[in-house]
């Protein structure tokens, strides 16, 4: 009794006249020829020592196993490829979304930084102008103080000389004018009386007459006391000198306070200018980096989108090819199974023996 084919799951059989069955039959004929050629080409022309169909069935079963294994291997490779497609497209989707988010953030960030940089530059210009104005004010105040100091020094020198001359004149009058008219103090006193607007004309005339007297002459005041007039002029000049000194002291104090305030202002503005220059430099570098990052992100996004589209196309194409291969392989397995079933039938051996050539004919012929 011939062995039966190994058990297998129920298989959907194809119509006998289908192209797949015809293709499988063609392959089976070739296998049968190879399997039977050797035993029939010798002394077995009239008798078959063994069942040749069994050998064909065994070979077809091996072919069926190989096709099944190829299908399993193909399915495994396909699943790995689809896993790669899924993970890669997922990674690409994440990368694309991240790039789009980053580009969406970089645009406003660049605009905000540029506006901040522009505002800082305007503030820097204002600080520089204010510092320059403070320096100009300091320079003008210094020049004015020097002029006032020169006027003050000249006034103090003249006042000191005039007061000294008046003091000597008062002393000389008290002593009887001995030798005073020929002194430098008398000359100074004459110049003072000639130029001073604070001395009354009557007093000026009386004093000039007094100073014009010749040595040894006794003076006889025509209007008031010469000594009283001189003392009055001296007191007034001394009071003016004291007032001028007080004014000078106040001016010096005001100048020093102004200079201290301006120096403090210049120092603060200089520090602010230095800080703003650093901020502008930092913002400039940051803006340049963000613009480069934006360009790189846009380029990367474009490349990722192209690669994503290509991958989707390739993965979809691979799915179509795999499905077609699976369909063809399934049809081939069904054809092999149907053929094996036919050859395992008891009538197949009798039919095969009846169709063998006679002893007088070689199998090759």
Note the pLDDT tens digit of each residue in 76-106: 888 888 888 888 778 888 888 888 998 999 9
Higher pLDDT, 111 or 352: 111
Mean pLDDT computed over 156-176: 79
Question: Please, where are the H alpha helices in 176-200?
Answer: 184-195
Residue 177, phi-psi category: left (phi > 0), alpha (psi -120 to 50), beta (remainder) = left
How far the first Cα of the chain sits from its last, in Å, is 32
Instruction: Answer whether residue 16 shows pLDDT above 90.
Output: no
- HEC states along 236-262? HHHHHHHHHHHHHHHHHHHHHHHHHHH
pLDDT band for 144, please (50, 70, 90 cuts): very high
For 285, the 3-state DSSP assignment is helix
> What six digits make up the tokens of 243?
């007032």
Q: pLDDT value at position 333?
A: 86
Instruction: Answer whether residue 355 shows pLDDT above 60.
Output: yes
> Helix (H) and strand (E) counts for the chain?
6, 0
Q: pLDDT value at position 1?
A: 39
For 345, the 3-state DSSP assignment is coil
The single residue listed with the structure tokens 């000359």 is 187
Q: pLDDT value at position 289?
A: 94
pLDDT band for 6, please (50, 70, 90 cuts): very low
Whole-structure pTM over 0.85, yes or no?
Answer: no
* CA-closest candidate to residue 247, choices 166, 137, 145: 145
Higher pLDDT, 348 or 88: 88
Instruction: Answer whether residue 43 shows pLDDT above 80.
Output: no
The single residue listed with the structure tokens 């890669």 is 88
* CA-closest candidate to residue 293, choices 109, 134, 152: 109
Q: Which helix (H) or strand (E) holds 127?
A: helix 52-175
């Amino acid at each position: 009794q011939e062995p039966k084919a190994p058990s297998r799951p129920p298989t959907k059989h194809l119509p006998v006249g289908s192209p797949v069955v015809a293709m499988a039959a063609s392959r089976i004929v070739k296998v049968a020829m190879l399997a039977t050629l050797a035993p029939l080409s010798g002394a077995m022309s009239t008798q078959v020592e063994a069942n040749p169909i069994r050998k064909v069935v065994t070979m077809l079963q091996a072919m069926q196993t190989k096709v099944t294994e190829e299908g399993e291997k193909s399915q495994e490779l396909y699943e790995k490829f689809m896993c790669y497609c899924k993970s890669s497209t997922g990674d690409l989707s994440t990368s694309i979304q991240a790039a789009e988010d980053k580009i969406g953030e970089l645009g406003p960030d660049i605009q905000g930084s540029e506006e901040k940089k522009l505002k800082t530059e305007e503030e820097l210009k204002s600080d520089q102008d204010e510092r320059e104005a403070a320096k100009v004010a300091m320079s003008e105040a210094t020049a004015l103080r020097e002029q006032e100091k020169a006027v003050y020094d000249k006034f103090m020198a003249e006042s000191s000389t005039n007061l000294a001359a008046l003091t000597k004149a008062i002393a000389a009058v008290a002593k009887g004018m001995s030798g005073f008219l020929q002194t430098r103090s008398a000359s100074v006193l004459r110049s003072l009386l000639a130029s001073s607007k604070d001395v009354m004309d009557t007093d000026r005339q009386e004093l000039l007459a007094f100073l014009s007297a010749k040595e040894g002459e006794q003076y006889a005041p025509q209007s008031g006391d010469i000594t009283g007039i001189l003392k009055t002029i001296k007191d007034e000049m001394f009071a003016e000198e004291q007032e001028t000194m007080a004014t000078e002291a106040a001016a010096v104090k005001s100048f020093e306070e102004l200079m201290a305030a301006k120096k403090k202002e210049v120092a603060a503005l200089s520090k602010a200018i230095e800080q703003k220059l650093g901020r502008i430099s930092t913002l400039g570098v940051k803006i340049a980096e963000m613009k480069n990052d934006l360009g790189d992100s846009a380029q990367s996004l474009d490349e990722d989108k192209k690669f994503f589209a290509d991958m989707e196309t390739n993965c979809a194409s691979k799915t179509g090819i795999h499905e077609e291969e699976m369909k063809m392989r399934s049809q081939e397995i069904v054809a092999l199974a149907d053929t094996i079933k036919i050859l395992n039938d008891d009538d197949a051996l009798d039919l095969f023996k009846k169709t063998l050539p006679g002893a007088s004919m070689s199998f090759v012929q």
